[in-house]
Chains A and B, each alone.
Chain A
Amino acid sequence: MSPVVSRQLVEVVDTRSAMRTVPLAPEHVLEQPLDRWQVAAWGLRTTVLSPEDPFVLAETCWLLPDHGVRLRRRRPRAADTVTATEIGAVRVVVDGDRWRCTDLLLGLEVVPGRPARVAHDADFAAAVAGGVLSSADAEEAMSTVHRVLGELGETRHDLDAWTTSLGVGALAGT
């Protein structure tokens, strides 16, 4: 499949209004109410329910501004589905109750029992070549992903050990 040159996505979480705003298209914005959220020393955790999604019950995200990453885990409706965790390179700017998260279009996918693998690298390369992502943002994304990959390798790809080292604790059960 040919790489897709994506738009750079900026989502905003407002904990005052308990809403997450996600741009889907140039003139289409998806507003989702937060079911739960927690502001912590390491960042922000949010959970959004998805009652209309036939496959996913809920999505939980962890935004870690100091580490430049967003962890995302979707809870499937089918109990026997393996849950992958996405680790995306992002830039997070916090302004009061508003958390603005810019997707840098490169990330990792972690499936239990397997080494982390890089996700979206073909789309990422196309986005850089197409000018969707600036060189500076591309370098930031690659630096973040290389750093996280190295850290995960040192923990034998034990995701909970890595998130614990960041102060988040184990993701299991959240």
Chain B
Amino acid sequence: MGIHPPKVETFDVAAGTNTDPKGFVRAVDLYREAPHGLYLSRGMPDHPTLTHLRSWLLPALGIRVTDFTWLRGHERRQDHYLDIVDVTRDGDTWRTEDHYVDLVVHTGEHTEVLDLDELAEAVAAGLLDPVRAERALTTSHRTLAGLAAHGHDLDAWLATRDVELSWPW
């Protein structure tokens, strides 16, 4: 698989839409802003294995936390999916730039780290500059260390950062 530039998504709270990395504009069922970030809930029509996503963008932590809902027969044993991202905001529009590395939290058990190969290839290919690569590494290390120190419990780790997440539909 060829390596791709960092994926960018936009979240237009006023318009109630989320433009995915391929440019498709999706209707969002619910946006909610909080001091620590932006929450959204939306369906995933036409996706082969997923029906719904609920996500928190957490700018200060450099992560996007997602709880996916799976089609029957496609369920996976995972509790939270964390993307390492830069989050920026311009008025009602939020923007994420994905920096390849993902963490999958299996609460109380372990945390998987995915797509380090993509990060390495992107840096080598000049698609991600060293400054952003360093930031991605720092964020993934800090996040993994925090999760490991709290029994791989996302809520327990976030509580130490004064962040409490809720997941309305």
Contact = CB atoms under 8 A, between A and B. Distances in A.
B93 interface: no
Nearest to B117: A139
Interface string A61-84: 000000000000000000000000
Nearest to A156: B149
Given A131-B124, A142-B119, A150 B111 contact: yes
Q: DSSP majority for the B interface?
A: helix
B134 interface: yes
Given A3-B130, A125-B134, A146-B113, A138 B148 contact: no
A145 B145 CA distance: 11
25 contacts: A115-B145, A116-B145, A121-B134, A121-B138, A122-B134, A125-B123, A128-B124, A128-B130, A129-B124, A135-B117, A135-B120, A135-B124, A139-B119, A142-B116, A146-B113, A146-B116, A146-B140, A149-B141, A149-B144, A149-B145, A150-B110, A150-B147, A152-B148, A153-B145, A153-B147
B111 to A, nearest CB: 7
Interface of A: 3, 115-116, 118, 121-122, 124-126, 128-129, 131, 134-136, 138-139, 142-143, 145-146, 149-154, 156-157
A156 B119 CA distance: 28
Nearest to B140: A146
B126 interface: yes
Contacts of A139: 116-117, 119-120
A150 B144 contact: yes
Contacts of A116: 145
Interface residues of B, number: 26
Contacts of A151: 148
Interface string B125-144: 01001110110011011001
B145 A154 contact: no
B118 to A, nearest CB: 9
B97 interface: no
Contact of B144 (A125, A129, A134, A146): A146
A109 B84 CA distance: 23
B136 to A, nearest CB: 9
A12 to B, nearest CB: 26
B121 interface: yes
B99 to A, nearest CB: 11
A151 B133 CA distance: 23
Nearest to A137: B120
Interface string B149-160: 100000000000
A128 B120 contact: yes
A128 B149 CA distance: 29
Contacts of A152: 145, 148
